[in-house]
Structure formats: C-alpha cells, structure tokens
A and B are shown apart, each in its own frame.
Chain A
Amino acid sequence: MRAVITVLGCDRVGIIAGVTAVLAESGTNILDISQTLMGEIFTMIMMVDATVDCRELQEKLSAKGKELGVEIRLQREDIFQSMHRI
C-alpha cells in the first residue's frame, strides 16, 4: 500500500529520527521524502510503501506524534491521486 505521511508541528531535535524509526520497525519503505520549515513550523511529506496493516501503522505513528509534540497523518496515496491527477 502506497501512502502519504505528513508531519506538522513545532521544530525540535529528533522528529525525522523518531518517525523513520517507527517506519523501519514496521518494515515500511520510504520512497520519497521532503522536509522544510515554514517559519517555526516543521513540515515533512513522505511517500511510503507500507507492508503492514494501515490501522496498525497509523496507531504507531500517532503515538510517536504525541511523544514528539507533532501531528502525524498517514493517508493512502489514492486520495491525492484522485484529487490532483486526471
């Protein structure tokens, strides 16, 4: 399952490390990654190929998000595909 992960929140040390650790543990391959600061706000977009159950990964990521004080979303790629590509 290809999915888009978005991370939003205050910048701090260890956000990328924290998120990628969760992905590595669950055997999720990162296909693309882009990160930038919009003012003080940390934003990261990742395209991943997940092999585990969507719900399980979402739960793990959202727990990690709470720990890091950032908001992490995982959505299947199809929603962006259908909205922005013909």
Chain B
Amino acid sequence: MFNRNEIFETISMIEQENLDIRTITMGISLRDCASESSLNSRRRIYEKITRYAEKLVRTGEDIEREFGIPIINKRISVTPISMVAESSDELDYARFAETLDQAAKAVGVNFIGGFSALVHKGYTKGDRALVRALPEALANTERVCASVNVATTKAGINMDAVRDMGLTIREAARLTADRGAIACAKLVVFANVPEDNPFMAGAFHGVGEPECVINVGVSGPGVVANAVKRTKGADFGVVSEAIKKTAFKITRMGQLVAQEASQRLNVPFGIVDLSLAPTPAVGDSVAYILEAMGLEKCGGPGTTAALALLNDAVKKGGVMASSYVGGLSGAFIPVSEDAGMIAAVQCGALTLEKLEAMTCVCSVGLDMIAVPGDTSAATISAIIADEVAIGMVNQKTTAVRLIPAPGTVVGDVVEFGGLLGSGPVMKVNPFSAEEFIARGGRIPAPLHSLKN
C-alpha cells in the first residue's frame, strides 16, 4: 500500500499543478502509399491513416480515465509528404495536405504532422513542390502541420531554402491575415530535426522509423515550478536535485502511458520525449520556473544560466525513468504558449535577442513568436539563418516558428486560440540582411562535423 503522502502528491500534481501527458503521437509510415497517380496515392494515404489510427483517440481517452491522468492531445505524424508525393503526377501538393486534414478529422486527432521536406543539402523535385504548396496548404487546412529542415551539423545550411522559407512564411501570413496568420503557427523551420518528435508542429515520421510507432510527450512545468519554489534560498545543487526528482516522477508516468497505449493499440513503443511544454494556463509556464530560481523576470540577466540548469536537470532526472528517450527532450520556450513568457515580453524583460541566446541551452528555438507584419522576407530568413547556425554548430536541434501577422505592430497581441495561445508582437532589429540573404548557396558544415 502506498502511504497517504504519495497518493496525495500524485493527485495534487495532476489537479493543482497541471501535470499531464501532453501528447500520444502515432507515427505512421506512408512510404507504401506512393503512386504515379495522385488520386491513388491520396486514397491510399487516407485509407492507411484511418485504419491505423482508428482506435487512437478512444484508447487515449480510456487510459486517461482509468489512470486519472489527463492526456491532452492525441496526434499523428507521417512520413514527409515530399517523399510520398514525389513519384505522383500531382502538381499541387496542397491536395495531399487536404487528404491529411480529412484523415485527421475522420479519426478525431487535432493535429497531423508530416507535410514536411528535408532539404538541408538541396531540393528534390518533390521537396520543391512541397515548399511551393506550403502557404496554400496551411491556409486551406485546419489540422495539418508542416516542417522543413534546412540545416544539419553534417550538411551545413541550405541558404537557398532559408531564403525560400522567409518568402513562404510571409505568404502564409498573407493568406491567413484574417485569422492572426495562423498558417505560420503550423510551420516550423528546423536544423537537425529529430525523426521521432511527438510534439507539433514539428512532428513527422522519419525514414528510419518502423511501420507504425507510439511516441509520448510528457509535460509538467507547473510541477517543476512548485518543486523549485520549495527550494527557496538553497544552492543550485539542491535546485538541480529537486528538478531531477520531479522529472523522474513525471517521466515514469509518461513511460507507463506509452507502454499501455502501445500494448492496447498493438503498436511498438518508440520513445518518451522529456520536454517541459508550457501551456497558456496559469501556472503551467517554463518562465515561472526560471523566476522561481530567483530571477525578477524571465529574460533578465541570469536567464540563460537558469534555463541551462533546468534543461540539464530535466534530462538527468527523466532519462533513468524511461527505457527509450528521444524526440526533442528539453524545455520549450514558445512565447505565445507560456503566460510567464508573454508577461516578460510585455514588461520589456524578454527580447528576441535574449530568446536566441536561450535557445543555445534548451530545445527548441525561436518558437511561436509574433513579429511585426511588415517584417521583410529577408529579415525573417536572416533570423532563421542565425537560429539554424546555432543548431548546426552546437550539434543540437533548433527551430524557428515566426508569425508576421499582417497589419500588426510592436505591442499588439495576436490571438491564435487554444493551446497556441496569444503572442505579443516583438521588436525586430531593423537593420537589413537583404544582400546577405540574396547570396544563396550553402553554408558549409562546421569542422567538428568531420568525426570519422
């Protein structure tokens, strides 16, 4: 029998500190859905997704009820569509996005990721068609998420793709100007993208993955923040220990849910992603953890060091609690999805440049950041270039999800709704990178990529 404190600790983590399983994501390979005929290919895709994921949502709900732990999202990731659609006669890949959207609706998942392309060294025919279709695909669908990997430590940075992504983001914003440029919130530009990430919008089912797999993303910034608060005045060794213990407990729960889902769906268990993913709910904020360590506001001096400690302790605590760890695994700092980050931006404590520095020590990058509507494509590309350079050189994943909502200026707030929250429009450095971005070509891989 468990003692009273243990039982009530678990219940209070769930009820008062917003502990939840953020997502159960089913990865499905669509490699066998390619066809010369676009219609056939799309039919196969729809049929396969709806067959494999038929019981995903219900199974998630059953586990949620039986264990009494909320499972916020049930989602699907698929093989990058640029690869699946490439051999078809389709000219407009937005139609593949529509098929994914229909399949997602049919099985009741709120997001489906994998309208993606990996172009870190260059474009294939399919990659080019996919990138061209991105703005329309994201504007015309509700649940489809897209990602483009433009850099790796091994390959360097594809600056042509970086330039194209600046233009793509601008166009996606224009097409959804009436909806807070929501299309941009569903598009992530990556360096060193992981192939088993369960979190949206960057999830896709990598080519080295099995036929079908269950990946689970845990969460719990609120639980960690309270654990840190209880260490008030103690030194950092104590803080780190407190975070590790909490991360261990959270991850054990993730592992349990992952195994249970895998068994019930008869699909192999892939990984648990040890990320602290904030939500707009009060108390569910990564910024508040940093502030609980003694910072007046997230973004002030000391923030990067605090985040480095947090990120490291979460991994150290979590890694022992799961048999397979993967995905992004770290602390997320999406501005619009974190009440503490929003407040820090609004009071002037947190700037874009500080966020960039913070991404050097955590996952995942400049995430869910609203920038003024008149930010040029070249400036967006240059921000992407800076961020992926950090990923390339530091051999880590970095990503950019910027939202240049048309008509907005610094100080406005863009509403996305739901888990995506609302983003205060942040100031962007006004100096031009036009000529720099116009060069194109590739930035070579760093020396330390030559490991063999």
Which positions in A face B, CB cutoff 8 Å?
4, 6, 31-32, 34, 36, 43, 45, 47, 54-55, 58, 73-76, 78-80, 82-84
B window 199-247: CB within 8 A of A: none
Dominant secondary structure of chain B at its interface with chain A: helix
Interface centre among A6, A55, A79 (most CB of B within 10 A): A79
Q: How far is the CB of A69 from chain B (nearest CB, A)?
A: 18
Q: Is there an interface contact between B6 and A75, defined as CB atoms closer than 8 Å?
A: no
Find chain B residues with CB under 8 A from A82 CB. 252-253, 255-256
Bound Cα distance A32, B7 (Å): 14
User: With A4-B7, A6-B11 known to touch, is A75 a contact of B252 (CB < 8 Å)?
Assistant: no
Q: Is there an interface contact between A76 and B252, defined as CB atoms closer than 8 Å?
A: no
Q: Is there an interface contact between B1 and A32, defined as CB atoms closer than 8 Å?
A: yes
Q: How far is the CB of B201 from chain A (nearest CB, A)?
A: 30
Q: How far is the CB of B219 from chain A (nearest CB, A)?
A: 15
Proximity bits, B423-435, A CB within 8 Å = 1, else 0: 0000000000000
Find chain B residues with CB under 8 A from A78 CB. 67, 256, 260
Interface size range on B against A = 20 to 34
Bound Cα distance A74, B7 (Å): 12
Bound Cα distance A47, B1 (Å): 7
B69: nearest chain-A partner, CB-CB: A79
Bound Cα distance A45, B249 (Å): 21
Bound Cα distance A55, B64 (Å): 11
Q: Is there an interface contact between A83 and B66, defined as CB atoms closer than 8 Å?
A: no
Find chain B residues with CB under 8 A from A58 CB. 65
Q: Is there an interface contact between B2 and A84, defined as CB atoms closer than 8 Å?
A: yes
Proximity bits, B4-37, A CB within 8 Å = 1, else 0: 1011111100000000000000000000000000
Find chain B residues with CB under 8 A from A84 CB. 2, 6, 9-10, 249
Bound Cα distance A34, B2 (Å): 11
Q: Is there an interface contact between A34 and B4, defined as CB atoms closer than 8 Å?
A: yes
Q: How far is the CB of A41 from chain B (nearest CB, A)?
A: 11
A74: nearest chain-B partner, CB-CB: B68
Q: Is there an interface contact between A83 and B252, defined as CB atoms closer than 8 Å?
A: yes
Q: Is there an interface contact between A75 and B253, defined as CB atoms closer than 8 Å?
A: no
Bound Cα distance A55, B63 (Å): 11
Find chain A residues with CB under 8 A from B69 CB. 79
User: With A32-B1, A58-B65 known to touch, is A79 a contact of B6 (CB < 8 Å)?
Assistant: no
Bound Cα distance A54, B4 (Å): 23
User: With A6-B11, A54-B65, A55-B65 known to touch, is A79 a contact of B4 (CB < 8 Å)?
Assistant: no
Bound Cα distance A55, B67 (Å): 11
Q: How far is the CB of B320 from chain A (nearest CB, A)?
A: 9
Bound Cα distance A47, B255 (Å): 23
Q: Is there an interface contact between A45 and B7, defined as CB atoms closer than 8 Å?
A: yes
User: With A82-B255, A83-B252, A83-B253 known to touch, is A45 a contact of B4 (CB < 8 Å)?
Assistant: yes
Find chain A residues with CB under 8 A from B4 CB. 34, 36, 43, 45
User: With A6-B7, A6-B11 known to touch, is A80 a contact of B2 (CB < 8 Å)?
Assistant: yes
B5: nearest chain-A partner, CB-CB: A84
Question: Out of A31, A47, A76, which one reaches B66, CB within 8 Å?
Answer: A76
A1: nearest chain-B partner, CB-CB: B66
Bound Cα distance A84, B253 (Å): 10
Question: Out of A54, A73, A76, A80, which one reaches B6, CB within 8 Å?
Answer: A80
